[in-house]
Amino acid sequence: MPNLRELHMTYGIGGLFPEFLGNLRSLRVLDSSFNSLVGPLPTFHGKVTHVDLSSNNLNWSVLESLGRLRSLQVLNLSRNNFAGPISTFLANLTSLALSSNKLNGSIPESIGRLSFY
């Protein structure tokens, strides 16, 4: 699968994120929504631009992994178990979805320039 650009693995996958994801150097879009995934993402060696991790059991521990995705533009983390303040890492995106989490605290000023969906 060295030329795979989009991967949609949704509905019913549980456990840790598969390590093989990091080896997909051409991957640009990852949709792992509506699963029961936990833990950090593997280290990606490509230029992933869109990630949808909505409707999982994720918490802020996944953000360290996401922070290494320098090309990331669109991120959907809706309907997870995120609690507490919003990370400033998220302010570098062009589109962000965080609905149905347990967020609190102040919103980073730079988030005001994002588009929401």
Residue reference for tokens 């150097």 = 25
pLDDT digits 0-9 by tens, 24-50: 889 999 999 999 988 778 888 778 999
pLDDT at 57: 85
Residue extents of the structural domains in the chain: 6-113
pLDDT digits 0-9 by tens, 47-83: 899 999 999 988 777 777 787 788 889 999 999 888 8
Q: What's the DSSP call for residue 102?
A: E
Token pair listed for 59 = 């918490």
Whether the CB-CB separation of 78 and 56 falls below 8 Å is answered with no
CATH class of 6-113: alpha beta
Residue 8 has pLDDT above 90, yes or no: yes
